[in-house]
Amino acid sequence: MTVRIVIGAQFGDEAKGKITDYLAADARYVVRTGGGPNAGHSIHLPEGVVVLHQLACGVLRHGTVGVSGPGMVVQPFKFEEEMQDLERRGLLRGEVVLSDRAHVLLPVHEVEDGWEDDLRAKTNPAAAIGTTRRGIGPAYADRAGRWGLRAGDLTRPAILKERLELLYATKAHIPGLPPLPELLSRLSEVAGRLAPLIRPTESMLWDAVDRGENILLEGAQSALLDVDFGTYPYVTSSHPTSAGALVGSGIPPTAVDEVIGVTKAYTTRVGGGPFPTEETGEMGEFLRRTGGERGATTGRDRRCGWLDLVHLRYAARLNGLSSFAVTKVDVLGGLDEVPVGVQYVLPDGSTARDVLPSQSDDLAHAQPVYERLPGWPEFHERLKERIRREGARALPATLRRFLDRITEETGVPIEYVGYGPSRDDTVRLEPNPPPRRPPRLAAWTG
């Protein structure tokens, strides 16, 4: 039995869906542990591209249970549409389960999300977060404020009506809300169709642990967007860390065997917030164009820059990573050299290698120090076929040096490498864990 957690180690969009789908081949349960319809996990199947927003990747595989877990905020109308789309395409192959403890994200929250971000921008243009306007923040705020509805409430008409009326009473100041009777009617209808999927999931997963079945916990968003440990306030409203995956599933920490951090060979970010290694010129456009860096949910262009080892060291310590999966190495193929940020010079002249300042303004003024590594060849089809046939030993030597450098600097071995979008474009390295490097942590004094 193995319980694995897959965590994004950057700002999101690291191809977590691809890695989760790859690992789901051996899993009985795949559990989405947080987030909502703001996340889009793109998976390239032989039948075409699938973008999962609220369903766990396990639903694409026969014999696997895809659990939308208690840490999520679920938009029930879009949840149903996502299932129906997969059914029409013949791709809904696993079982779908929705935790009765997951919170319900409503059209009310979507209106509120847009209203709040417009208010930020009107008050101070620099304060606009660049939210997806999918209602994630307001839904999590209502969960914390104990105003929220949970999926289990959908199956209890009297409770649903009572809680929805209470929720509306808290939002009377927000313009443009849908009429309460209309929303209640729509919720009652969709509840009848989703009811067979809604059940307690924590006991189901505990029993699976006891039976020795493989469980995969799938994160949405990424560690640097954690509401506590990310680049606040330019963060999501949940905990996309390994600790958050436990809270969002009910799996106890003693059951976890592996924590896999997913990172691109470079870095991207959507929306506002500090990004020390960002490239705003020609190379940034090259990464955006070559990497197809456009959001699966919003369609917005992603900001692009070089790999940031300060971020990866921080994410490794924060999440207790046991290995990395490095994706999109093919995007950098053909470059003469590949810059890698190894440390920051801060405004006061000090340097940072292992920790991030808690103030986003300080991080925004950090200057990266780069190490320039030799590039590797383009990933033409002949090279891909050779890797599929021969495994990791067919990876170019300069790429192996790039991967080794990540391990040397973070103390975390590379276990998986993604070199293209399809399921087949992934290779396992089976590394020997490196000796732990001496800790070089210093307290932040800014």
Active site residues: 13, 41
Q: What is the DSSP string of 342-407?
A: EEEE-TTS-EESS---SSHHHHHTPEEEEEEEE------HHHHHHHHHHGGGGS-HHHHHHHHHHH
Cβ neighbors of 316 (< 8 A, separation 6 or more) are 9, 261, 410, 411, 412
Strands (DSSP E) along 230-364, which ranges?
258-264, 266-269, 303-308, 323-327, 337-345, 351-352
CA distance readout (Å), 224 to 85, 103, 246, 275? 32, 23, 18, 11
Crossing angle between the packed helical segments 76-88 and 180-194, to the nearest 10 degrees: 40
Q: What is the chain's percent helix, strand, coil content, to nearest 5?
A: 40, 20, 40
Residue 259 DSSP code: E
User: Could you count the other beta carbons within 10 Å of the beta carbon of residue 179?
Assistant: 9
The two three-digit tokens of residue 211, written as one number: 């039976």
Strands 266-269 and 303-308: antiparallel
- The partner residues of 368 in beta bridges, in order of sequence, read 344
Residue 387 · residue 400 · CB < 8 Å: no
The two three-digit tokens of residue 10, written as one number: 């950057």
- Our CA dihedral for 21, 25, 29, 35, rounded to 10 degrees, sits at -10
Q: Which 3 state secondary structure label does DSSP give 62?
A: coil
The amino acid at 115: W
Identify which of 430, 432, 416 has the alpha carbon closest to the alpha carbon of residue 21.
416
Q: Which 3 state secondary structure label does DSSP give 290?
A: helix
- CA-based torsion, 34, 112, 38, 227: positive or negative: negative
The two three-digit tokens of residue 329, written as one number: 């190495």
